[in-house]
Structures are given as C-alpha cells and as structure tokens.
Structure 1
C-alpha cells in the first residue's frame, strides 16, 4: 500500500538560538520536534521508526550527532466549533506553482491573492480524502488575521515568503481538525504549516 508521504507536518523548537551564518548555537543541548499527521497509519510508521533509533547516536550534520531521548504521543482535543483561534508552530506557505514554466511564487497573508491561492491548494490537497463536496466548504472558509507577520525562509536555495502568528478560522469543524492534524498550506512535509488551537 502506498503511503501519502506529504500528509504530515512538523515544527522545530530551538532553545534561544543564536544564528551565526550557517551555524546555530543553542542555549541547551536539546531541540524539540513536534510532528502531526491526519493519517493514523503514517503516524504509527513514524512512531515505530523513532522508537527503533531511540537512544542511538545519529549523524545530524558534519559537526553534530543527535540522539532521540523522549517520544510522547499527544492527543489533540477534537474541535467542534466552527470558529477557532490558532497560532502557527511553523510558517504557513502559500505557493502558486506554474506547471508550464515550473516556477513558484510565494504569497504571504497580506497579499491580495493569498487566500484564493491557499483555498485552491487546499482543494487539490483534500478532494481525494473528502470528495468533491469539500470545495464548497473550503470556499466558505473565512481567514481572519489576529497578529500575522511576514517571514522569509531559505529552503533549498529558494527564498520562501510565508506567514507566522495568530489567526482565526471560521469553517466546518472537520476541516479545522484536519488542519491541526496535518497542517495547512504548501510544503507541509518540509516542516511548514503546523498550527495549534489556542
């Protein structure tokens, strides 16, 4: 059976990082990685893979090794409301991909095309799981800014404009739950689009 490798997101917490070119110095010898997926089978596979390497030294870069010390499963509370406030744990990417030119353009929250492109991408991501009717529920989503700022992340030599902060979503609870479980936006499998309810 083929696993949808993109049906997950993650975020990384670095304690008081100091960035010095390509080197990041941390206050503590510790990082926290949050992982979320809406696919139970995929979640089990990742959990088992991490358990298999727990307490083993793994190469992390040319200068470092890393050891998985603790793995915790956190059960998210089910969202039943049609209106919920969220904060980003990793930036939300809104990508417009041109198939003919193979070029990407990235939008952040304040740009005019952000919402339309994000909704189009959500439809392509979710129609196989939820069916064609998901389009009307995605079209009805309301995005309300609370405290959003623009950030630019360098990812594989691309400068990716994205959005960080707090926002409100109004929409069907099954969609809000899916966004918490699997992330929202593009490039989720590269550590973007992780959100949590607040």
Structure 2
C-alpha cells in the first residue's frame, strides 16, 4: 500500500534533520488512527516497522548551513506491506491538519492512494526515492557502500531481518547489481551518515523483492531511508490508480 501526501509549509526554510520530523508525524498518525497498533510498534525499542517513507520538496533551492530552502510544498511518499498500518496512517493523517516541524509547521492538503504493483519475476530494477543505508554487522553506526568489504553481508542481514519478521522466511537473500549509483552523505540525529542513491537491480524470490519494494531496503527504513520505486520493466504489473481526498 502506497500513499502520496501533500503538505503546505508555513516557512520556506527547514532543518536538514527533517526526516525526524516526518517520522514523528507518522508516529502520531498511527497513534491517532489505531492506538493498539501504535502500542505494538512503539511500546518497545528496536521493533522492526513494516513501512518506509521519503519526502520530496518540489521547490527545493539549495541550503543555508544546516537548513534547506524548501519553498512552500512538501510531498510525503509512504509505503507499507501492512494494510492495517496503511489504513491507520491514512485515517490518522486526516485528523492532523497541522503539525510542528522543528521551527516550521506543515499543513495537510491532500492524500492519494497509489497504484498497487506486484513483481512477478526474480529480477527487478529499482531507483531510490531516499538514500539507502547499509551498516556492517557489529557496528550499527558504520555505513557501507556497494563495493566495500562486507556490503553484501550487511545488505542481506537487513533483508533477512525483514523477511523473517514480515514473511516468515528465515534465510532469504538477494543479489545486488549496481547500474548508476553514487554516494550521498546525510545528516540525521546529529550524525553524518553515508548512503547511496541511484539505480540498481536486485535478484531474489519475487515475494522477497515485493517486500523490499513495500518496506524499503537497508536500515533505518522507518526513519525515511531505503524507499524505492520500480523502473518500468516487464517484471511487474501495475494496477489502476485510485485517488482520495
């Protein structure tokens, strides 16, 4: 289930830590939309969450120090493998007409339900909608790039975690084939983290590829990282788009 949510910003300047603010918005939406579901995912630390998100600023015009000049518009893209979570976010967002975002405020304008897509082959091409973070086993704060020693192990460790939790598959793996990727450094929780953006292919079981498409790739997915979109190929089947206000 994928949602596209439109917001208006009161101020054209926004902290580079904006992902934290939108993560708080989604947390509040789930709390308002389904309080027992909120308790399931937020009552304990380090609970894997079945969603990812990314934020796009159509009027982005660079930065001033630790602030981005984002203009007046923000588009939140949200994706989940859980219909229950998707409905709670949808219903919760309808109740939040305005939300503080650091020194700024965002006002809800509209929400759209995006087409459902199913991957039917064992190879799919993806483009990042948010940077992908892959950390090394044993050091959660050391992030790896494709080609680094331990990258494949770290990537598949995160894939195995989501597959074990959300699919009940204990030993899932994927093969990673970069096409056009580049390093990107992101400021998050007062730390600088290196990730990658661009286009790549993954090979694996179709149900594993579908889960990655739905909940994201890598770590910190529910904090605004790892969201992917499919590059148009014959390996997936789109459905018709539905629009809601």
Q: How would you bin the TM-score normalised by the shorter chain?
A: 0.7 to 0.9
Contact 2:163 2:211 (C-alpha < 8 Å) held by counterparts? no
TM-score by length of 2: 0.71
Residue 144 and residue 97 in structure 1: after superposition, are their counterparts in 2 closer, same or farther (change >3 A)? closer
* Cα-to-partner distance string for 1:77-110 (whole Å, 9 max, x where unaligned): 1110111110000011102353xxx762111122
Q: Distance in 2 between matches of 1:152 and 1:191?
A: 14
TM-score, L = length of structure 1: 0.87
Task: Give structure 1 regions of 4+ aligned residues with deviation exceeding 3 angstroms.
Answer: none
Match of 1:178 in 2: 211
Q: How does 1:42-61 map to 2 (within 5 A)?
A: 42-53=85-96, 56-61=97-102
Let me know the Cα RMSD of the aligned residues: 1.8
Could you say what secondary structure the match of 1:92 adopts?
coil
Answering whether residue 82 of structure 2 is matched by residue 39 of structure 1, we say yes
CA 1:103–1:148: 2 relative to 1, 3 Å: closer
Gaps of 5+ in 1: none
Correspondence list, 1:113-132, <5 A: 113-131=150-168
> Structure 1 residue 134: deviation in Å?
4.0
CA, structure 1 residues 50+144, in 2 after alignment: closer, same or farther (shift >3 Å)?
same
Determine if the alignment matches structure 1 residue 25 to structure 2 residue 62. Answer: no
2:51 is matched with: 8
Instruction: Give the alignment of 1:25-174 within 5 angstroms.
Output: 25-26=69-70, 28-53=71-96, 56-62=97-103, 64-96=104-136, 98=138, 104-131=141-168, 133-135=169-171, 137-138=172-173, 141-174=174-207
How many pairs are equivalent? 187
